[in-house]
Amino acid sequence: MKGINPDFQRPGGPATPDSVEAWMDSIQNQGISGLSRAISLLENKKPEARNTAMQVLQASMPFAGNSKRIAITGIPGAGKSTFIEAIGTYYASKNVRIAILTVDPSSQRTGGSILGDKTRMENLSRLPNVFIRPSASEGTLGGVAAHTREAIYLCEAAGYDLILIETVGVGQSEVAVHSMADALILITIPGAGDELQGIKRGIMEMADCIVVNKAEPPNQEKANHAANELRNALHVFPPHPYGMQVQVRLASAKTGMGIEETADCILELIAKAQSQGTFEKRRTEQTAYWLTEALHQRVMQGIMESKSASEQWNTLKLKAEKGEINPFVAAQTFWDLFRRNIQ
Amino acid sequence: MKGINPDFQRPGGPATPDSVEAWMDSIQNQGISGLSRAISLLENKKPEARNTAMQVLQASMPFAGNSKRIAITGIPGAGKSTFIEAIGTYYASKNVRIAILTVDPSSQRTGGSILGDKTRMENLSRLPNVFIRPSASEGTLGGVAAHTREAIYLCEAAGYDLILIETVGVGQSEVAVHSMADALILITIPGAGDELQGIKRGIMEMADCIVVNKAEPPNQEKANHAANELRNALHVFPPHPYGMQVQVRLASAKTGMGIEETADCILELIAKAQSQGTFEKRRTEQTAYWLTEALHQRVMQGIMESKSASEQWNTLKLKAEKGEINPFVAAQTFWDLFRRNIQ
């Protein structure tokens, strides 16, 4: 296992784990750097690392599933990071262990630093019972890091009680985000209107709690108005599939107004779902979703690893985009070529 | 090509086409029975039929893309069929050729008659410039027949100007429906509230036009109230990604009230998108969506055609559902087995 990711070997740090047992020890007994290293293993694309990652994921299963998973989404500029810092600090004060998985939009644009979020949540990151992990938002699921779903299992194996997943809210597949959390929180701002441009249509109806953030002076009136409009809109939305009473809350991450109430409210929504049995139902349906998603992704990725296959598809795709070939014919042609090659 | 589908050979009817040219002639010059036969070819699962279907789809490409595609969705009981009958009759009176692709929910339940919709839209089906094709709603796209997207191409090759696609609105992937139309119409009813239970969350935000149907006496007041609530809710929805002014209309398919206005309004929405260039943009993005979707479906279906592969996956899936194996490990294990088998 040596050298599968040079990042694991930090000067003076512990050696890279060389067995699944050692990886589990790293996750469960070596603090945030141990967990962080294991999440890097998930993100490592080398086949041998991927192989180890799968064994570690499987070894984590007996310890998985016991956290509460909260997804937080919203447009850039809605104040997601400061909101997470605020509720995270409150939760942490209750002796809860919190893991925060954030998607760093800056890394999407620049391919650069993935430490951006750590500085954005400086105070929170200093607390001993808080783990913050920023990830680049590259990957197939748009707006959520490719391995976020896997990372949740490791955080749970590390004993975190509460997992906050931040996403940028403008990705291709908000369903993916929606399908990894026990509650989806949408952060909006007073008088958003056109600022909502770019947010994925449908996400508002999927939210379990909508927070009107930045409700501090001089925005109170606008914030109240926005909250009332949202509450009215909830009347025409389809009823919640798991029977949750969708909440609209005013908050100000800046002044702290409404933060504790919102944080409590989110946990109450989840607790109620647990007592009503809908929590389990939701998780079961999410597992079914992820099973199919994981299968399709793994298979398509595996097939496209072949250079000739990916070149063939790119050629067909280009022709289909130009209208020269029917999309279904393109798919069939690709499959015929692939099948011939493997026979 | 003989005998690939006994249904093609109706007593006294024309012979089953025996070449791609003959199929195109069937689609373009043999009226509704010719087109209907070609859509049956799309639905035929036999490999040789599928092969011909692909050639026919490809041959249709030069004639495809010129219609306006309108998707109509809503909960069972909202009156989708009578609404379609009403606007369809109006459109037909304007000398427009209309193809209606409906999903027959009864066939989903019983596996039975696919003639249900024809009787449901009896008057409309008698008009010479109207083609109605009910399909069973089985298939991977939930709520929309598996081959509806393909059938659109054939209807266009047959020269239909307007294609109405009815879906049940409660399926897994409303995105699929949303991604095949130039405008998505949501049919609702006054005071729906809990009746909306079961409708897919997110669909309301995706609608380009929301029709409050059954707005005839004694429902007027409730209908007006519902329409106002919907109009207010539109304020908090994310702005339309293609800049459409989402419409809320009152209508009664029973009395005819609002039907012509709604029908005109839908065409105006599309015409405006055409003049603004967003129509083309939307179609381009839809093609991209369908390319990926068609590829994934074709490949996964092809792989699962192998009995051993599908048995392996079912075993893994069951273990994952029981929590014995991690979903991502299940996917990886399946891929490893598959790759080993093809090497």
- The answer to whether the Cβ–Cβ distance between B54 and A329 falls below 8 Å is yes
Q: Is 60 exceeded by the pLDDT of residue A110?
A: no
Q: Is 50 exceeded by the pLDDT of residue B234?
A: yes
- B313: confidence class by pLDDT, cuts 50, 70, 90: very high
Contact B183/B208 with Cβ under 8 angstroms? yes
pLDDT of residue A12: 53
- The answer to whether the Cβ–Cβ distance between B329 and A54 falls below 8 Å is yes
Distance from CA of A250 to the nearest CA of B (A): 15
- The answer to whether the Cβ–Cβ distance between A296 and B296 falls below 8 Å is yes
Question: E strand or H helix at B99, and its extent?
Answer: strand B98-104
Mean pLDDT, chain A, integer: 86
pLDDT of residue A145: 63
Between A342 and B219, where is the model more confident? B219
Contact B5/B43 with Cβ under 8 angstroms? no
The two tokens of residue A187 are 């952060």
The answer to whether residue A237 neighbours chain B at the CB level (below 8 Å) is yes
B64-276 — its CATH code? Answer: 3.40.50.300
pLDDT of residue B144: 59
Lowest-pLDDT range of A162-166, A212-216, A299-303, B187-191: B187-191
Distances (CA, A) of A338 to A14, A62, A312, B15: 45, 38, 9, 35
B6-61 — its CATH code? Answer: 1.20.5
For residue B325, the chain A residues in CB contact (below 8 A) are 58, 61
Coarse DSSP helix, strand, coil percentages of chain B, rounded to the nearest 5 percent: 55, 10, 35
Residue B160 DSSP label: -
For residue A202, the chain B residues in CB contact (below 8 A) are 201-203, 205-206
pLDDT of residue A286: 92
- State how far the Cα of A116 lies from the Cα of A137, in Å rounded to an integer: 13
Give the start-to-end residue ranges of the domains of chain B. 6-61, 64-276, 289-342
Between A112 and B151, where is the model more confident? B151
- The answer to whether the Cβ–Cβ distance between B329 and A201 falls below 8 Å is no
Q: Is 90 exceeded by the pLDDT of residue A205?
A: no
- The answer to whether the Cβ–Cβ distance between B328 and A294 falls below 8 Å is yes
pLDDT of residue A142: 43
- A115: confidence class by pLDDT, cuts 50, 70, 90: very low
Between A130 and B148, where is the model more confident? A130
Q: Is 60 exceeded by the pLDDT of residue A233?
A: yes
Contact B35/B97 with Cβ under 8 angstroms? no
- B145: confidence class by pLDDT, cuts 50, 70, 90: low
Which chain A residue has the Cα nearest residue B174?
Answer: A202
Which chain A residue has the Cα nearest residue B285?
Answer: A321
pLDDT of residue A294: 92
The answer to whether residue B337 neighbours chain A at the CB level (below 8 Å) is no
Query: pLDDT tens, A5-54?
Result: 444 444 555 678 999 999 999 999 999 999 999 999 998 889 899 999 99
Q: How many other C-beta atoms can be found within 10 angstroms of the C-beta atom of residue A75?
A: 22
The two tokens of residue A311 are 């070149």
Q: Is 80 exceeded by the pLDDT of residue B135?
A: no
Pick from B319, B320, B323: nearest CA to A64? B323
Mean pLDDT of A260-280: 97
For residue A338, the chain B residues in CB contact (below 8 A) are 299, 302
Mean pLDDT of A188-209: 76
The two tokens of residue A171 are 């990705």
Phi/psi of residue B42, nearest 5 degrees:
-60, -35
Q: What percent of chain A has pLDDT over 70?
A: 83
Q: Is 50 exceeded by the pLDDT of residue A291?
A: yes
The two tokens of residue B268 are 């105006």
For residue B296, the chain A residues in CB contact (below 8 A) are 296, 300
- State how far the Cα of A310 lies from the Cα of A142, in Å rounded to an integer: 21
- The answer to whether the Cβ–Cβ distance between A201 and B238 falls below 8 Å is yes
The answer to whether residue B326 neighbours chain A at the CB level (below 8 Å) is yes
Q: What percent of chain A has pLDDT over 90?
A: 64
The answer to whether residue A310 neighbours chain B at the CB level (below 8 Å) is no
pLDDT of residue B205: 86
- State how far the Cα of A304 lies from the Cα of A299, in Å rounded to an integer: 9
pLDDT of residue A195: 59
pLDDT of residue A3: 38
Residue A146 DSSP label: T
For residue A249, the cross-strand partners are A211
Amino acid identity at A3: G
Lowest-pLDDT range of A283-287, B166-170, B187-191, B308-312: B166-170
Between B42 and A168, where is the model more confident? B42
